[in-house]
Structure 1
Amino acid sequence: MTRPPSIVVVLSDEHAAAATGAYGHPVVRTPNLDRLAEQGLLFENAYCTSPMCVPSRLSLLSGRYVHEIDAWDNGVVPDASFRSWGHHLRPAGYESVLVGRTHFNGPDRLLGFDRRLSDDLDFWVDHDGRPPARTPGWRRGSNSHVTECGAGEHVHTRHDVATTDQALDHLRQRATDTDETPFLLYVGYMHPHFPLVAPREFAGWYDPAHVPLPPTWQDPPEQQHPVIARLRYGFHNEEPLSPDQVRLATASYWALVSHLDSQVGRLLAAIDGSRLRENTVVVYTSDHGEMAGHHGIWQKQCFYEPAVRVPLLLRLPGHRAPARVTGDVSLVDLLPTLRDLAGLPVDPELPGRSLCGRPDLPPRPAFAEYHAQGMVDGGFMLKRGRYKYCSYVGHRPQLFDLDTDPWERTDLADDPAYADLLADLAGQMERIVSPDVADRRAKADQRRRLGG
C-alpha cells in the first residue's frame, strides 16, 4: 500500500495573483514561487470565497462557503461544530501542525489541529466575537493602509522570519525522524498584508519612479457603482492620492511580496534538500488579494480581480511536467484536494472538488461573498469563464466580460444584449445561495453578537 504523502500548505495574506512572476507580472520578483509553478500545477483562475481575512480562512479550513458556516466577518469565533483540515485528515493518520498566522478567533488555538508551533501576533487575535459596524456612516480611522508605506522595520516581518525558522525546525526533524507518520504542516505568513512597510533590502529592488500606475487608479467615486463608492468612503479610499504616493505604496507592496517569496524559498530548500522531497506535496495560496490602487481602492472587500483572484500552486511528489490550469477553481477546493491526497473518500457535504481530480469534470463557477464593514448590505460574486456577475442586495448588479475588459471598466449589466446571460448567472448563483436570505441571516447573527 502506498504511503500517503506529507503536505505543506503555505498561506500568505493579501497576495493578488497578478503580483507574481509566474502569473505574468513583468516586474515583481518571485523566483521561488516561479520555480514552484514550474514544477507543478498553476491555477490561472483561482478565487477566494470572501475578500476578507477571517471569513476566507474559515471557509478555506472548513471547505465550506461563508454562508454555510456563518463566517460573516473578522469577529466570528468558530463554534464546536467547526471541522478543519485537522479533523478531516485525522482518520488518515496525519499529524496536523500549525505555525504562524492563522487569523482565526477564540480561545481554541488549534481548531482541530494536533499542535501549534507559534501563534498569531497578539493584536490580530480577536476573542470577543464582536462584529464590525455595517452602517452607512461607518468610516475607518484613516487611509494608513496606503499612506503608511516605504522601507523600514516592522513586526510583521519579524513574525514571518520567525515563522519560517520554526517551520524549518519541524521539517528538519521530520526529515531525519524514523517516524513514517504523514504530516500536514500549515505555514501562515503576514506578508504582503499592509501596513506596506517593507524590509530595506527588498524595498531597494523596486524604484517607485518606474512603477506604472493602473489605468483605473483615478476613477472618480461619483461615477462608480454606488456600492463601490460607499466602500471607498468607508475605507478613506475616496481621498485623492498623488501619483508619487501610489507609486511608493505599490513598490512597497511588491517588496513585501518578494520578501514573502524569500521565506517560501527557505521552506523549499529544506524540503528539496532532504528525503522529504520524495513524498511531500507543497501548496501555496493566499486568503485574498489586494486592490493596490485599481479603481482607486486599497485593501480588498470587493469583487474586482485584484481582490478575489489569488495565486494557487500545487506541487506533487516526483518530477512531473508543469501545467497551467485555466478553469475556474475556488479555495473551497483545497480541502477536497487534501482529502484526495490522503486517500480519503469524497465528502459529499463539501461544495468543492479535488484539484487532483479527473480532467473531464465539467466547468464550475467560482463563488464569493462579503458581509462586513464598508458594505451595508450583502455582496455576492459568481465568476464563470469569461464573465463575472456581482449581486448586491438592494442595488443593481454588475456584469463584466474579462476577456474583452480585463480591467473591469465596462459594466454590461444594463445592456439589453446581456439580459439572458445576466438572468442565467443570477439563477446559477441562486442554486448556491439566496442573496436575500444570506443577507438577512448575516445581519441577524451580527445583531445577536452585538447584544441587540
Structure 2
Amino acid sequence: MERPNIVVILSDEHTGSAAGWAGHPQIQTPQLDRLAAQSVSFDRAYTNSPMCVPSRLSLMTGRYVHQIGAWDNGVIPGPDFRSWGHHLHDYQTVIAGRTHFNGPDRLLGFDRRLTDDLDFWIDHSGRPPRRTAEWRRPTNSHVTEYGAGEHVHTRHDVEATDAALDFLRDPGEEPYLLYVGYMHPHFPLIAPPEFRDLYDPADVELPPAPSEDQHPVISLLRQGFRNDEPITEEQAREATTCYWALISHLDHQIGRLLAAVPDDTVVIYISDHGEMAGHHGIWQKQCFYEPAVHIPFLLRHPALHPARTTAPVSLIDVLPTLRAIAGLAPDPTLPGTNLLGPVPTDRPILSEYHAQGMINAGYMLKSGPWKYCYYGPTDPPQLFDLDADPLELHDLAGRRPDMVAGLDAALRAILDPDQTNDRAQAEQAARAN
C-alpha cells in the first residue's frame, strides 16, 4: 500500500475557539477555514498539559505527561525518549521551526532539521521551576507587552515557512513526515502592523471580571503569574486585538505552506495549548479552564470525508493516528486512539500540570459535558457542567458529590494523583541539585 505524505502544523498558544471555522465572529483565519472545510474538525480537542514543553513531549511520544516525567518547561528528554521519528522509521522525518525541545539533541529521532528553535527558548540546564507560594513571575509582560511592530517570533515563523517550502520543492522519492512548528500566537503580543490593522479594539468583547472569591489554587496561580496586577480596559482590549492579529499572521504563514502541499497529502493542524486571554483574570495558560486546554485539531486525509465531530480527543491521539496513516500496526502500549477509526464518545480526557504557580499537582478529567479538576487532598476540587455553564462560572463540586466521586474514581483508574504528585516533586528536587 502506498504511504501518503504527511504535514503536521503545530502552533503555540492557539485556543480552540479563536478561529473563523470555530465560530469566532471577528478573528480572520481564511486559510485555516479553507483547511477546515477539507478536514475532520475535532471540536472537543484538548491538550494533555497546559504548558509548552510537557504538552509537546506528550504529543511527540503519544504518552501522558506522568508516563514520561515531562513535568515542566525545564525537562530535557532522555535517551529512552521515542518520538514520531522513531516510530515512522520508513519515512523521512523532517522538522522546520519551533519544537521547544530542550538540551543538545535537536532531532530526538527525526532525520533532519531545516530550522531550529530560537536560542533563548532552549533550556540546557534542566533546572526545575520554583514551586512555592512566594514564587512570582518577574513582570506581567505577557499581557502588557503588546502593539504593532517587528519581533523575532515573526521572523522565526516566516523562516520556518520558507524552509518548509524549500523542502517541498524537492522532497525526494521517499514518503515524508514534515513537521512545521510556529511561535505565533504565543506572547509577547507584538503583531506585524498589517495584521494589527485588521482589528479594532472597540470590537473586543471582554470576558466577565474574575470572581472576588476565586478558588484558592486559581488565586495563587494568578498571583504567581502577576495576573492579580490590574490592567486597564484599554490594555485588555489592545492585548486581545494583538492576540487576534498574531493568529491572523499564523494563518497567513499556514496559507503559504498549504499552497505548496498537494491535495493528496495528509495535513494535521493542532496547537500545544490555548491562551486564557483574560478569562477568570488570567493571561497565559497553566490551568484547566477551557481557553487554556481547548485546542484546534484539524485532520485532512484523502480517505476521510470533511466533517465536524464532538468526539473527545487529545494530543496523545496524534501518534496512533500517524502510525495508522503510515500503515503500521497499532501499538498497544500507547494510551491514545487512532482517529482514522471510530472514536468512543464516552472516553475521558486527562490533562495535568506540575509546574510553577501550583504548589501541588493539578489534574483535569473531562468526561462528556463534565470537567473535574483535582488539586490534591488539601485543596477542594472543581466541577463544571460545560453544557450549562460554558464560561465555567459556577463550580458545582460542593453540590454534586455524586459526580465528584464518579469522576475522581475515573481519574484514579488512569493514575494515582497524589503518588504522581510526590514523584514529580521528588524528580524536580533531584534536578535542582
| Smaller-chain TM-score bracket | over 0.9
Question: Alignment partner for residue 409 of structure 2, among 384, 406, 427?
Answer: 427
Matches within 5 A, 1:77-156: 77-90=76-89, 93-156=90-153
| Partners of 2:120 and 2:358 in 1: CA distance | 24
| Partners of 1:212 and 1:425 in 2: CA distance | 34
The Cα shift of 1:322 comes to 1.6
% same residue: 63
Matches within 5 A, 1:9-24: 9-24=8-23
Question: Alignment partner for residue 258 of structure 1, among 244, 248, 254?
Answer: 248
Contact residue 312 and residue 345 of structure 2 kept, 8 A? no
Matches within 5 A, 1:37-436: 37-90=36-89, 93-174=90-171, 177=172, 179=173, 181-215=174-208, 218-220=209-211, 222-271=212-261, 276-278=262-264, 280-317=265-302, 321-358=305-342, 361=344, 363-393=346-376, 394-415=378-399, 418-436=400-418
The Cα shift of 1:362 comes to 5.1
AA in 2 matched with 1:8: V
| Cα deviations by residue, 1:156-209 (Å, 9 ceiling, x for unpaired) | 0000000000000011112xx4x1x11001100000000000000000001112
- TM-score between the two structures when normalised by the length of structure 2: 0.98
The Cα shift of 1:121 comes to 0.4
| Partners of 2:302 and 2:112 in 1: CA distance | 25
| Partners of 1:40 and 1:71 in 2: CA distance | 31
| Partners of 1:314 and 1:446 in 2: CA distance | 36
DSSP 3-state at the match of 2:334: coil
- The structure carrying a bigger helix percent of its residues is 1
The Cα shift of 1:358 comes to 2.6
**5+ residue gaps, structure 1:** none
| Partners of 2:415 and 2:27 in 1: CA distance | 37
RMSD value, Cα: 1.0
AA in 2 matched with 1:10: I
| Partners of 2:69 and 2:39 in 1: CA distance | 34
DSSP 3-state at the match of 1:442: helix
| Cα deviations by residue, 1:382-419 (Å, 9 ceiling, x for unpaired) | 0111110000012110000000100000000000xx22
| Cα deviations by residue, 1:72-105 (Å, 9 ceiling, x for unpaired) | 0000000000000000110xx1010011000010
Contact residue 372 and residue 383 of structure 2 kept, 8 A? yes
| Partners of 2:109 and 2:8 in 1: CA distance | 16
The Cα shift of 1:433 comes to 1.1
AA in 1 matched with 2:368: G
AA in 2 matched with 1:211: V
**5+ residue gaps, structure 2:** none
Q: How many residues align?
A: 432
| Partners of 1:210 and 1:265 in 2: CA distance | 25
DSSP 3-state at the match of 1:327: coil
Contact residue 327 and residue 385 of structure 1 kept, 8 A? no
DSSP 3-state at the match of 2:286: coil
| Partners of 1:362 and 1:187 in 2: CA distance | 30
| Partners of 1:132 and 1:157 in 2: CA distance | 27
Runs of 4+ in structure 1 off by over 3 angstroms are none
AA in 1 matched with 2:124: H
The Cα shift of 1:422 comes to 1.0
The Cα shift of 1:321 comes to 3.5
AA in 2 matched with 1:146: V
- TM-score between the two structures when normalised by the length of structure 1: 0.94
AA in 2 matched with 1:185: L
| Partners of 2:281 and 2:145 in 1: CA distance | 17
AA in 1 matched with 2:392: E
| Partners of 1:358 and 1:251 in 2: CA distance | 38
AA in 2 matched with 1:62: T
The Cα shift of 1:210 comes to 1.9
